[in-house]
């Protein structure tokens, strides 16, 4: 909810700036109008950037409690080559081919520090990347790798990346990675991925997945 409100506020700010820019561009005159036109176009560019920022913020989901964020299941194509279906909690599916023996799902997590944390505002997340890897180190170095982006920022406007690169800019916000531990891929295996304040946890959901984990251990 808090991220939806933040995104709404940023969107209203973008709309207001775009409105002011349109008024400046609409007024007549020559040199003054030319300057106003340049300024108005600049305001439009700022409005577009702010609107994209609002969209990027809206793409994060709040962690209200430990909750299921995705499921993933596997069908074997050939040795160390699997067809994977990743489905998020909204039911959106991503179908990819993963190579290797294990899989991992990464997420971006935004946590609140300082006084914001005392207000009880929950962290937020966005699924980031799905990848496969090999048990064998030589294959991990030389064999074909498979890594897929789960969610892209629109037109490269990435708020989390900025916060992660410059953590001192907004010290009450902590942008970090969360990863489900590498788990084995096996034909017919189904896993459930949950997220809590501590990060991602993957659990086997059927016999094939439990057998794969037991063999891995």
Tens digit of each residue's pLDDT (9 = 90 or more) over 60-83: 666 666 678 889 999 999 999 999
Q: Locate the domains of the chain by residue range.
A: 2-58, 62-216
> Rounded CA gap, 65 and 112, in Å?
15
Per-residue pLDDT reduced to its tens digit, 87-129: 988 888 999 999 999 999 988 877 776 565 566 667 777 888 8
**Residue 120 φ/ψ region, left for φ over 0, alpha for ψ in the -120 to 50 degree band, beta for the rest:** left
Question: What is the pLDDT, as a whole number, of residue 206?
Answer: 92
**Considering the entire predicted model, what is its pTM?**
0.66
Q: What letters, b where the CB count within 10 A reaches 16 and e where it falls short, cover 111-149?
A: bbeeeeeeeeebbbbbbbbbbbbbeeeebeeeeeebeee
Question: What mean pLDDT is predicted for residues 142-169?
Answer: 75
- 171 pLDDT exceeds 70? no
Element containing residue 1 per DSSP (H, E): none
Q: Which two tokens stand for residue 146?
A: 């498979």
Q: Residue 147 has what DSSP assignment?
A: E
């Amino acid at each position: 909810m808090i991220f939806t409100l933040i995104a709404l506020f940023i969107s209203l700010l973008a709309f207001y700036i775009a409105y002011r820019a349109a008024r400046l561009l609409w007024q007549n005159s020559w040199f003054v109008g030319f300057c106003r036109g340049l300024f108005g176009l600049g305001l439009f560019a700022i409005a577009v950037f702010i609107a994209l920022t609002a969209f990027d913020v809206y793409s994060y989901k709040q962690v209200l409690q430990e909750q299921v964020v995705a499921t993933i299941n596997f069908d074997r194509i050939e040795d160390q080559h699997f067809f994977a279906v990743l489905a998020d909690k909204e039911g959106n599916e991503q179908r990819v081919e993963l190579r290797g023996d294990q899989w991992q799902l990464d997420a971006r997590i935004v946590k609140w520090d300082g006084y914001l944390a005392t207000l009880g505002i929950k962290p937020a997340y966005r699924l980031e990347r799905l990848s496969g890897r090999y048990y064998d180190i030589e294959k991990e170095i030389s064999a074909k790798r498979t890594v897929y982006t789960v969610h892209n920022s629109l037109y490269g406007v990435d708020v989390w990346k900025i916060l992660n690169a410059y953590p001192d800019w907004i010290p009450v916000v902590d942008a970090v990675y969360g990863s489900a531990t590498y788990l084995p891929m096996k034909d017919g295996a189904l896993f459930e991925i949950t997220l809590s304040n501590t990060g991602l946890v993957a659990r086997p959901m059927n016999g094939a997945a439990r057998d794969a984990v037991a063999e891995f251990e």
